[in-house]
Amino acid sequence: MFTRREFGLTCGMTSALSIVLWIYAALLLAGGLMGFVKAGSRASLIAGGAFAAIAALTASSLLPPILAVLCPLVLAVMMGRRFLGSKKFMPGGLITLISLGVMAYAVITLRLLH
């Protein structure tokens, strides 16, 4: 049985992870805005804003640190499927790579805190 601490629900985050999450949130928001401006995609705007909000709230310690892993994981899966379907690196491949990097950094950082 896992405890709340093992799921990252009670531990704090390092300032480095917070900075990474703030940068990630800014990139997601910028990508959502770019998708809206270039292609008129409201879905990009909403998804980019929603995932950016989750990353920013997690960076601010207002949401549990486990979301620093789950948010990029969900986005990597969604955008990875898009990339595999279209074979176009932008934006699916780029967001997948960035999300996997953020997720890996969060897993390592949160694991070291235990």
Position 2 in a domain: no
How many domains does the chain fold into? Answer: 1
Position 9 in a domain: no
Q: What is the pTM of this model?
A: 0.85
Find the domain containing 64 and state its range: 15-112
Distance between alpha carbon 46 and the CA centroid of its chain, in Å? 14
- N residues, the chain: 114
C-alpha to C-alpha distance for 113 and 98, rounded to whole angstroms: 23
Position 5 in a domain: no
Give the tens place of pLDDT for each residue, 59-111. Answer: 999 999 999 999 999 999 999 999 999 989 998 999 999 999 999 999 999 88
C-alpha to C-alpha distance for 85 and 65, rounded to whole angstroms: 31
Position 48 in a domain: yes
Confidence class for position 9, pLDDT limits 50, 70, 90: very low
Q: What CA–CA distances, in Å, run from 37 to 30, 40, 43?
A: 10, 6, 12
Which of 62, 79, 81, 75 is CA-nearest to residue 102? 75
Position 7 in a domain: no
Confidence class for position 114, pLDDT limits 50, 70, 90: low
Position 4 in a domain: no
Yes or no: say if 50 and 64 are a contact pair by the CB < 8 Å rule. no
Yes or no: say if 83 and 89 are a contact pair by the CB < 8 Å rule. yes
Position 99 in a domain: yes
